Structures are given as C-alpha cells and as structure tokens.
Amino acid sequence: MPKKKQISYENLTKLLAAEASKGITQFSVTEDSVEVYAVAFSAEPNSGSVSLHINTESVFEARKSTTYHECDEKQVNGLFGFRFNPHDFGFHDFWSFPDELSDWAEEYEAHLESLETDEEHEETRERFFDAVAAAIGQVQNELAFLNKTEHFIAFVSYYDSSRELKEHLMRKTVGEATFDKLFPEVRRFNELIIDINQLSTEVQISYWLGVLKTYESKDEIGQGHFLQYRYYLDVEEHLAELGQDALPAIFAYLDQVIFLNEFNLKGGKQWTEDGAFNRQAAVSHLLLNTIARIGDSAPWVERALKTYIQTLTLHNEGVQETVGLNSRLAARCLHELFPEKYPKEDVCQHSNRLLNAWRYA
C-alpha cells in the first residue's frame, strides 16, 4: 500500500498569513477603516477553504437598525449573534483564492478522504483550525494599522459550529479577559451548568423538564435562568446525557399532553404570537427525539410508544383533522429503537395522519 502523502499545515499558515497581510494592509488605508471591531478568518474544515472578513461599528449599527432591529440582545451580541457572524460583516473578498491555496485545499480534501476513523477526522480538523489561528498570530503587525475599537478581536470561525466549537475556536486567539467582556453570558452559563451537574440525577431531570415547562407556558424567566442563555431545543442534549434514568419522567410529561392539539387555531392569538406550531407540540417533539437519542430499547419503552400510537389512532378514527401528539414521531422512535421490528413511518402528505399505524400494533 502506498504511503499516505503528508500535508503541511505550516504551509497553510504561511499562505494564509501572506494573503491576509495584503488584504488587511490594503483595507487599513481606506476610508472604511474606522472603528474596526472584528476580523474573522472563516474556515471550512471539510474543504480546506478560508476567507477573510472585516467589520466596523458603523456597518454593524446600520444593519442592526434595518435587518435586525427586532432581534433581542442574545441574537445581536451573543456568541451566535450577528455582530460576530462573519457572513454579516460588511467587508469580504480580500483574496481570490490563489493557486497555492487551491492546491493546498485539494491535497487536504484528498487527505480527508483517505481517513478511516472519526478520531482521525477530528484530529485533522483540529490541526486545520490551529493552522488558521496561527495565521492570525502572524499578521499582528498588519492588524495594528487598523483603526480598531477598544475590544477588537481577530478570530477563527466556522459557520456550522456547535456552541462548544464556536467558543473553542474563538478562544484560540481571543484572550480570556476580552472574551468574558464580550460574552459575559458564556461564563455565567458555564457556571450554571457546573452547578446543575452537581445536583442529584433526579433533581437534574426535574430541572430540565421545568425549563421546558417554563418555555411551554411562557412564564417569566428569572435572572440566571437557563433560557436566558440558551434556547429550549438545547435541553434535549442535557436530558439525553442523563440517559435511561430520565425516561420515566419524560413519559410522564408526554402523558399530560397526548391529546393537546399540535397546531394553533389559525388567526387566533397563539397563531399570531407563535405561528402555526404551538409550544406544547414543540416540547413533545423534543421529548420524543430525546427518547430516540437515549436509545433504551426496554420492553416498557416499547409498550409506552405503541400505546401512544394506538390511543391516538383510535381517538382520531373517522375525523378529518387529527388532534393530539404527532404519532408519526412516536412511530419514528419505535423504528429507531427497534429497526428490525418496526418500519419507517408512512405519513399522509396533507395531514398528520399515520398511514401505517397498524404496523405498530
């Protein structure tokens, strides 16, 4: 077997620094170089491509007052807010991806295709991100010529980042004090999670289901509440980490909402506030996804999911509009937990009706 060709991450750093040096220097002498608050190297770890983005306070404020004027603080200035989203920046296209970078990206893609394990892919991605961060370190002299704000940052970004990866990438080039100044909610959230994780499993389950209840009922969110920092969808990950211990409480929660309508009345208050899909249904869907993610194929889990499908099928028999929990997702859970025993769900394209409900009897 021929030996795998080694790729040079040092060469990537050198090429990126050379191109960024030219782009930043050219921008620094323009009239737009006023109150620059961020320079981002947007990196794509699946293709090896990297692009340079710059933004200023004036561009940010202009976009905030037009496109994003209805966004809340988290959506504007948070870690995932548009303020630090390179694709919302005002200045792009600082290089035309020269041949040397194109050649490097081709070698990198070929290298990715030769990898066999997830660990190899993860290590390669990390080395790629490190090389991009190193390029930022090599253009500090050029960055010094920009008219910058007090809390200016230059950082690595990846558009498809999880929250953990986004923070990880930023911290490669942004110091702790500056990061905490710009994103105080991240530190507070990390401290909150540490506190929650020190609770008993039973109390943790109760806490996460309480978060969903708060979202569902639109109760006022107190200071330091999880929903101040994250969206209700993020609860799925935390519940799933608690594993099968969380399942009895999850099913007890679902038992209370099985006959609630999935959609808001068209034209009503809830339709206006939340859209067609109501919050109870959104939480139910999240919990059914969590059950599948936990992956416990215990007989009682199977029976509970089958009971949901059978109960809803009988309840909706002979009616035009189906009501209650979406049995399609319960059927999907059964298929994912028992793929040899239950088929994929078959759903009517014009309603929520499960067409092959009898297969789950």
The confidence score (pLDDT) of residue 144 equals 96
Q: Considering just the CA atoms, what is the radius of gyration of the chain in Å?
A: 25
- Average pLDDT of the segment spanning 33-59: 96
Cα 94 to Cα 23: distance, rounded to the nearest angstrom: 5
Q: Is the pTM of this model over 0.75?
A: no
Q: How far is the CA of 72 from the CAs of 64, 68, 69, 272, 294, in angstroms?
A: 11, 9, 9, 19, 33
- Average pLDDT of the segment spanning 330-338: 93
Q: Locate tokens 């935390």: which residue?
A: 238
Residue 24 tokens, joined: 């930043």
- Average pLDDT of the segment spanning 256-283: 72
Which one, of 83, 86, 80, lies nearest residue 50 by Cα? Answer: 86
**Coil vs helix vs strand at 106:** helix
Question: Strands, E, within 57-159: which ranges?
Answer: 148-157
More confident residue, 24 or 217: 24
Q: How confident is the model at residue 352 (pLDDT cuts 50, 70, 90)?
A: low
How many other C-beta atoms can be found within 10 angstroms of the C-beta atom of residue 209? 19
Cα 196 to Cα 224: distance, rounded to the nearest angstrom: 12
pLDDT at 238 over 90: yes
More confident residue, 214 or 322: 214
More confident residue, 349 or 55: 55
Q: How confident is the model at residue 323 (pLDDT cuts 50, 70, 90)?
A: low
pLDDT at 304 over 80: yes
Q: Give 214's strand partners.
A: none
The confidence score (pLDDT) of residue 294 equals 96
Residue 26 tokens, joined: 């050219």
pLDDT one-digit tens code per residue, 2-45? 455 678 999 999 999 999 999 999 999 999 999 999 999 999 99
Cα 113 to Cα 71: distance, rounded to the nearest angstrom: 41
pLDDT one-digit tens code per residue, 79-127? 889 999 999 999 998 876 778 999 999 999 999 999 999 999 999 999 9
Mention every residue, 6+ apart, whose C-beta is less than 8 A from residue 157.
40, 41, 42, 43, 84, 85, 86, 166, 169, 170
CB 221 within 8 A of CB 228: yes
Terminal alpha carbon distance of the chain: 53
- The residues spanned by each domain of the chain are 9-182, 199-360
The confidence score (pLDDT) of residue 72 equals 83
- Average pLDDT of the segment spanning 197-226: 87
